Amino acid sequence: MAQLDTRQKLAILADAAKYDASCASSGTSKRDSRGGKGVGSSEGMGICHAYAPDGRCISLLKILLTNSCIFDCAYCINRKSSNVRRARFTAQEVVQLTLAFYKRNYIEGLFLSSGIIRSSNYTMEQLVEVARSLREDHDFRGYIHLKTIPDADPELVRQAGLHADRVSINVELPTVAGLTDLAPEKSAPQIEGAMSDMKGAIEEGKDNKKRFKSAPSFAPAGQSTQMIVGADAATDRDIVRRASGLYDRFGLRRVYYSAFSPIPDASAVLPLKRPPLMREHRLYQSDWLMRFYGFKPAEVEQAADPAGMLPLDIDPKLAWALKFRDSFPVDVNRAPKELLLRIPGLGTKAVDRIVQSRRWRKLSLDDVARVTVSVAKVRPFIVTTDWRPTLLTDRADLRTLVAPRTEQLELFAA
């Protein structure tokens, strides 16, 4: 490997990390350096902007320790057979870089991943050493997200949780067949085994914390995973099913969906075109339906077409409502919250506002219009004091009436 200076390494290793989407930093414990103790804070932009569910934007130094790898995953630009320029940081270089960026107020934390160098254990040791040194040698209190190597020694993976706020173990592809075809050196049972161990360790850490206030935190922001969408033949239905299984079995905080992007010198087994970005967006919407709107995975799957794909032109909640019109209209003045959450066009905040307001007075269509972006989308599905959709809910052309209009943008529009 040619001798590179820190700036050159940073350019290569930050660029190589951009393919990883799973860096939102929601839900960690609060830690700060007010009072002159330590460096950094987990509260609070810069290199990689991650958005937490509460809308907070935080910045992370998002890099790889190295983009050299002994594995040859077909979808990865850093695979052994890829013809990219390679670089490698030492653990101490990453520590110094993180502290320097933090002190200049460029970042609020670190997102660190790595190609596999020498062996999985050796790589995991290096990743853990970065986090350990930041916490123990420098009392760094900022956010740390470590990507772990599933086939590394479980004790090493566990050590990651002692220092990191969040750990993630990527399942990579939605199906075992996809993983076998595109990442033959990886093993689905090993990945799931590591997730299961991590779940156990996180629960144990929480338990200890309840019993002994002084017990150390263990991965307080939990574990997450990422799957690549569009690199294999998995349908949206397969992906929804897989995601819900992962949430149930491993208590994940988040599943991230990353639309496959064609890479230079791509392997011939990969598609030449990336899937539409809207597909990724629809999968995130379906994920939210399961996590925040009370939809069961089978119900989200019902929104898909016979080929198992979610529509791209309308969101999955609207697609479900159009298929199950006998569940509507819903009376916003009387229906329980779980039915209000089924109404297309009403988000969780709008539903909360409706539930609050109706305690004091009966709601009209204008009242509902005030809490939604598009009352036209909501109208066919609700009853208010002054509105009843009568036959509108059952109209054959309802989809055309409520689907968002796609407009040709004018090149010189103001």
Please, what is the minimum distance in Å from the beta carbon of residue 243 to ligand SF4?
19
Q: Which positions from 21 to 60 touch ligand SF4 by CB under 6 A, shown as an x/- string?
A: ----------------------------------------
- Looking at the DSSP assignment, which residues form a beta bridge with residue 88? 66
Backbone φ and ψ for 25, nearest 5 degrees, come out as -115, 35
State the residue for tokens 């208010």.
384
Residue in 80, 83, 78, 82 with CA at minimum distance from that of residue 66: 78
In b/e form, how buried is each residue of 14-37, taking b as 16+ CB within 10 angstroms? ebbbebbebbbbbbbeebeeeeee
Complex with ligand SF4: residue 228 or 332, whichever CB lies closer: 228
Rounded to the nearest 5 degrees, what angle is found at the Cα of 337, between the Cα atoms of 394 and 376? 40
| DSSP codes, 57-83 | EEEEEEEESBS--S---TT-TTSTT--
The Cα 316–Cα 310 span in angstroms is 7
Closer to ligand SF4 at the Cβ: 33 or 180?
A: 180
Q: How many residues bind ligand SF4 (CB under 6 A)?
A: 9
Q: Which residues fall within 8 angstroms of residue 368, CB to CB, at 6 or more apart?
A: 332, 354, 375, 378, 382, 384
Binding mask 70-89 for ligand SF4 (x = CB under 6 A): -x-x--x-xx----------
Q: Per-residue contact track with ligand SF4, 114 to 133, x per CB under 6 A?
A: -xx-----------------
- The distance of closest approach from Cβ of residue 262 to ligand SF4 in the complex, given in angstroms and rounded to an integer, is 15
Nearer to ligand SF4, 77 or 398 (CB): 77
Span 181-210, contacts to ligand SF4 by CB under 6 A: 183
Please give the Cα distance from 236 to 303 (Å, whole number). 10
Q: Which stretch binds ligand SF4 (CB under 6 A): 66-74, 122-130, 135-143, 280-288?
A: 66-74
Which of 169/198 has CB closer to ligand SF4?
169
Among the listed ranges 68-76, 153-161, 235-243, 313-321, the one in contact with ligand SF4 (CB under 6 A) is 68-76
**For ligand SF4, which stretch binds (CB under 6 A), given 65-73, 121-129, 155-163, 338-346?**
65-73
Instruction: Give the H or E element holding residue 225.
Output: strand 223-229
Judged by CB under 6 A, which stretch of 53-61, 67-75, 192-200, 388-396 contacts ligand SF4? 67-75
Q: Find the shortest distance in angstroms from Cβ 97 to ligand SF4.
A: 20
- Distance CA(310)–CA(281), nearest Å, equals 11
382 lines the binding site for ligand SF4 (CB under 6 A): no
Contact of 204 with 197, CB cutoff 8 Å: no
Element (H, E) at 237: helix 236-250
Q: How far is CA 197 from CA 2, 104, 151, 164, in A?
A: 39, 37, 12, 16
Residue of 12, 23, 47, 69 that binds ligand SF4 (CB under 6 A): 69
Residue with smaller CB distance to ligand SF4, 79 or 377: 79
Chain positions 90 to 119 lying near ligand SF4, rule: CB under 6 A, are 115-116
Q: Which CB atom, from 116 or from 219, has the smaller least distance to ligand SF4?
A: 116
Q: In terms of Cα–Cα distance, which of 380, 342, 382, 325 is closest to 358?
A: 382
Whose Cβ is closer to ligand SF4: residue 110's or residue 191's?
A: 191
Instruction: Note the residues at the interface with ligand SF4 (CB under 6 A).
Output: 69, 71, 73, 76, 78-79, 115-116, 183
